[in-house]
Chain A
Amino acid sequence: MISALRMVNGILTITEFELRKVVHDSSQVFVRAIQPLLWLVVFGGVFGKLRVLATGSYSYLQFLTPGVLAQSVIFIAVFYGITLVWERDFGLLNKLLSTPVPHSSIILGKTFAAGVRSILQAILIFLLALAIGVQLRVDPLSVLGVLTVIVLSGMCFSSLSIFLASMLKTRERMMGIGQAITMPLFFASSAIYPVELMPSWLKVVALANPLSYTVDALRALLVTGDFSRFPRDLAVLILATVVLTVLATVSFKRIID
């Protein structure tokens, strides 16, 4: 019981102070919105005019917005491990570990914070999309669903990143792997084109890519309102998040040795 309380205290404390850092330097939230904005306005604008993609009764921008939203979240999350390497290079991580909070709560707090942080990102892009006239469903339940999916995805990919960081151990290698996996993750998902158009081998990759499920869930919530696959999407996301946070928690002590 006491250790459970310590755990919760640890997670909430770490989360809170991660978020305080964002408050001290909010400019990064805006800077990080630039790339998604370009995807929406430039890429979405041009591709939308071509009308080559079968997006059903929805406009291409409607189709693209959930994809860009998901992309903006995971592009930040996959680099999250760098922060941890950074904190290891300073003595920050060692000092955190010398406190009596359970070590796993430090990692859980960090990933949870990464998830919550992505909400700010998502809200910004959501507003941008509305501003350029993309029609989205905005009822309270959908918004709540979107936030849930986004926090989960942020946690999922930041855990992946922490797991990678505990293997790779240096900032340079983390930058490299981050660059190497973001685009494949993005292109091998349903973010910018429907899975049905993919060659069959790519379909398999997309099926194994958690990002596809994020995008699918967001698309149901924001655009189609068709929730037939939503339980599956959510289940996969939760499963992936649990597996990856456990992996990250178990492996991250290696980052210090």
Chain B
Amino acid sequence: MIEVANLTKRFGHFTAVDSISFRVEKGEIFGLLGPNGAGKTTTIRCLLTLTRPTSGEVNISGIDALKNPQQVRQICGYVPQEVSVDGDLTGYENLLLYARLYQVPKASRTKRIRDALEFMGLTERASHLVKTYSGGMMRRLEIAQVLVNQPQVLFLDEPSIGLDPAAKRMIWDYIIRLRDDFNATILLTTHDMLEADELCDRIAIMNLGKIAVIGSPRELKAQLGGDVISISTTASNCFGVLQRMGYQLLSSSRDGVCELIVKNGEEEIPRILEGLRQHGVATKSVSLKRPTLDDVFLKYAGVRIEEGEVSWKSARLTRRTIRRLRR
């Protein structure tokens, strides 16, 4: 459904997207996972013909996006990261506006709008001005806006950013239903590991404009080859000792924590601790977890996604936007 080959986008000397290639199949939920500034949004903007790629090819549903941008836009729907509903119009009007811009035939307009409102659970508030909506409702309305066009491909840029956990869950449920009920192909970007894990059939891990690896969350986690054990210690030689013992280490010690990947972690812990004791390394605590996408990201991108800091910052930005809109 979506084919991207060697897509590159430069802004001056800065390369935002660096020769990436991927395919998304029909009816798939595909995620671009990476920290802010990884080039996810720029990728989406290139696919949507909002910005012209420096080089590369983009094909959507068999249409060459560089040659026929309007045709591509006609079959796509885009929900940007920032709030994109108009607070000074009612919910219904926000949908009517897009039904008209997408040239939905007059005969089916009302029905499509009603269906989209119904689907996103907004029927009751349809005649209210959008500035009175909650953040979660605005996000749902944004999705409803593109639904009136019955798009074949949906682009969702950070669909749950800035939402509280309950609203987040709700949006995830809707995204899955969008795929199941409309057979839409969905490309989303996220820096939220959990979101990528729960929603996406496949993900591409993106960092510094490049795609590091593509696969299903399960595959990617399995490729790590075991459980993640974190050992907290005050000894500075812990890392070296573990290496000499032949373990595969995930990261160097940050704040005196060594992380390693082992098969059958539960059984391995006593052996590791015994080995460390023999080398005179005192340990403070040990923990074991199943690998997460964060660990996968660390393996391929070399850094943690720094979830906390980044998401907090952008969440604050989105919240501020919503607040401004609701004034």
Contacts and interface: CB of A to CB of B under 8 A. Distances in A.
Query: Interface majority SS on B: helix, strand, loop or mixed?
Result: mixed
A92 B233 CA distance: 51
Contacts of B145: 95
Contacts of B36: none
Contacts of A89: 82, 321
27 contacts: A9-B101, A10-B101, A13-B101, A17-B89, A21-B86, A21-B89, A24-B89, A24-B129, A25-B88, A90-B82, A90-B83, A90-B325, A91-B82, A91-B83, A92-B83, A94-B78, A94-B82, A95-B80, A95-B145, A98-B50, A98-B76, A98-B78, A99-B98, A100-B74, A102-B70, A256-B50, A257-B51
Interface size class of A (residues with CB under 8 A): 20 to 34
Scoring B77, B78, B101 by chain A CB atoms within 10 A of each residue's CB, the highest score goes to B101
Contacts of A24: 88-90, 129
Contacts of B83: 90-92
B66 to A, nearest CB: 16
B26 interface: no
Contacts, number: 74
Nearest to B83: A90
A97 B50 contact: yes
Given A6-B103, A24-B88, A91-B81, A100 B70 contact: yes
Contacts of B97: 13, 17
Contact of A100 (B73, B79, B90, B325): B73
A101 interface: yes
B321 A100 contact: no
A130 interface: no
A9 B106 CA distance: 13
Given A91-B80, A98-B76, 10 more contacts: A6-B103, A25-B88, A92-B86, A95-B78, A95-B84, A98-B48, A99-B98, A100-B74, A100-B101, A256-B50
B100 interface: yes
Nearest to B11: A257
Contacts of B50: 94, 97-98, 256
Contacts of A25: 88
A99 B325 CA distance: 22
A13 B100 contact: yes
Contacts of A9: 100-101, 103
A96 interface: yes
Interface in A204-257: 256-257
A20 B89 contact: yes
Nearest to A257: B51
Contacts of A101: 101
Interface string A78-90: 0000000000011
B102 interface: yes
Interface string B299-326: 0000000000000000000000100010
Interface in B140-164: 142, 145
Interface of B: 11, 48, 50-51, 70-71, 73-74, 76-86, 88-90, 93, 97-98, 100-103, 129, 142, 145, 321, 325
B321 A17 contact: no
A199 to B, nearest CB: 45
Contacts of B90: 24
A92 B101 contact: no
Nearest to A9: B103
Interface string A11-25: 001000100110011
Scoring A20, A100, A101, A102 by chain B CB atoms within 10 A of each residue's CB, the highest score goes to A100
Contacts of A13: 97, 100-101
Contacts of A21: 86, 88-89
A20 B93 contact: yes
A20 B100 CA distance: 14
A25 B80 CA distance: 26
A20 B73 CA distance: 26
Contacts of B51: 257
Nearest to B69: A100
A95 B156 CA distance: 11
Contacts of B70: 100, 102
Q: Which 5 A-B pairs have the closest CB atoms?
A: A91-B80, A91-B84, A91-B82, A98-B78, A95-B84
Given A20-B93, A89-B321, A94-B78, A99 B101 contact: yes
A90 B76 CA distance: 20
A113 to B, nearest CB: 13
Nearest to A6: B103
